Amino acid sequence: MGYVPIRDAIFADWAKKLLAYVQAHLAAFFIQDAVFNPLLALYAAFEAAYNRSLDPNKGAIDTAEKNRARKALEKALRAFIKAFLLYSPFVSDKDRDAMQLPIHDAKPTPAPIPTSFPEYSIDTSTPRRLCVHFWDGATKQRRKPKGVHGAEVRWEEREDAPVKAEDLANSDFATRSPRVFVFTGDKQGHRVYFCLRWENNRGEKGPWGAVMSAVVP
């Protein structure tokens, strides 16, 4: 998450003000002391280590301790913010502005039904393997379209070319490229047909791409 300051001095000031704001609104935010107080202890440890690291006579141990204290505090703050501040109905957008936190939609926009289809290539450089590398056909970028969970891959080893994707007997799903298919030695020299389409996070599917084939090396 990009709202956490990078520089130690700015981070220390931001964390101190955020904790002070939350402490003043514990009841309104419905946050219990038992949840909040450990953050104060982590901040106190970081503040002490940070101040030691500013001493001109500091050593490597002081810097390492400051880094460890910051890492522990930042990890705890991120988890706390996500759980109690970013999406809580008891925390207003005005509160989030005051704490320098991002404002998210209460109702995320549903992922659209895919309108593009995957383009792909089939790598035959490894014996008994076919590696299907796929990317977005609309943008030509090697990443999935926004809201897409992955690609449905229809495939079948057969002699005749299929008329449409649904003619292929096997269905697989790949969340990332490439999808690797491994074959036994007796399949070498056999032709395998493929066809792909995108599927979003709700299981809604886009159009099929082109049918392609490759011979098992």
Q: Please write the tens of the pLDDT for every residue from 158-177.
A: 999 999 999 999 999 999 99
C-alpha atoms less than 13 angstroms from C-alpha of 133 in its C-beta half-sphere? 8
Q: 15-19, 40-44, 73-77, 109-113: which range is least confident on average? A: 109-113
What is the rounded CA–CA span in Å between residue 93 and residue 89? 10
Nearest to 22 by CA among 103, 77, 89: 77
Predicted local confidence at residue 80, as pLDDT: 96
Residue 109: per-residue pLDDT: 66
Give the global pTM.
0.52
Instruction: For residue 105, name the pLDDT band (cuts at 50, 70, 90).
Output: low
CA 7, 11, 16: angle at the middle one, nearest 5? 160
> Is the domain defined by 118-215 classed in CATH 2.60.40.10?
yes
Whether the Cβ atoms of residue 118 and residue 171 lie closer than 8 Å to each other: no
| Average pLDDT over the chain, rounded to an integer | 92
Beta pairing, strands 179-182 & 129-136: antiparallel
pLDDT at 141: 75
Domain boundaries, the chain: 8-98, 118-215
List the strands of the sheet with 148-157, edge to edge: 170-174, 148-157, 191-200, 212-215
